[in-house]
């Protein structure tokens, strides 16, 4: 197996996630796109861990998974709060801070 095949898979998933973050209007779908980005990072970390024969990549992949779980929990709580106040989770409706 080449190093590059895993890194390129990570790059493709990362770019699909970036497209999702830009294109989506629904807050839950934006959170899902962020999950795609975090997963592509994990693939890269583990590919480099195998390449260098070190356990650091595994450790940080586990930390990334834990941070992603915390992020989804807080993010969905915020989405729920926005929905309760406005009956909508469209992100471009949240424009009060625009000058």
Partner 1 sequence: MLAADVLVAQNIGFGVIAVIMVVGALRVVTTSNIVHAALWLVTVLAGAAAQYVLLAAEFVAVTQVLVYIGAVMVLFLFGTMLTRARIGAEKDVNNKNWFMGVPIAVLLLATMLLALNDGFGDEKLPADPDTLVNTQMISDQIFGPYLLPFWALSFVLLAAVIGAIVLARRD
94 scored as a contact of partner 1 (CB under 8 A): no
Residue 86 token pair: 């406005």
41 scored as a contact of partner 1 (CB under 8 A): no
Size of the site for partner 1 (CB under 8 A): 70
Closest to 34 (Cα-Cα) out of 60, 63, 70, 8: 70
- CA 97 remoteness from chain centre: 25
Q: Which is nearer to partner 1, 60 or 97 (CB)?
A: 60
CB of 98 to partner 1, least distance (A): 15
**Residue 90 dihedral angles phi and psi, to the nearest 5°:** -75, 125
What is the Cα–Cα distance from 57 to 92, expressed in whole angstroms?
37
Residue 75 token pair: 């993010």
Applying CB under 8 A, the residues found at the interface with partner 1 are: 1-9, 11-26, 28-29, 31-33, 35-36, 39, 42-43, 46-47, 49-51, 53-56, 58-59, 61-63, 65-74, 76-81, 83-84, 89-90, 92
């Amino acid at each position: 197996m080449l190093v590059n095949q895993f890194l390129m898979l990570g790059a493709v998933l990362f770019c699909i996630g970036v497209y999702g973050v830009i294109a989506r209007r629904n807050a839950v779908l934006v959170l899902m796109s962020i999950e795609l980005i975090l997963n592509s990072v994990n693939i890269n970390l583990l590919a480099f861990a195998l390449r260098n024969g070190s356990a650091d990549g595994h450790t940080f992949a586990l930390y990334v998974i834990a941070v992603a779980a915390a992020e989804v929990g807080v993010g969905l709580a915020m989405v729920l709060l926005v929905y309760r106040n406005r009956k909508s989770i469209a992100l471009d409706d949240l424009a009060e801070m625009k000058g």
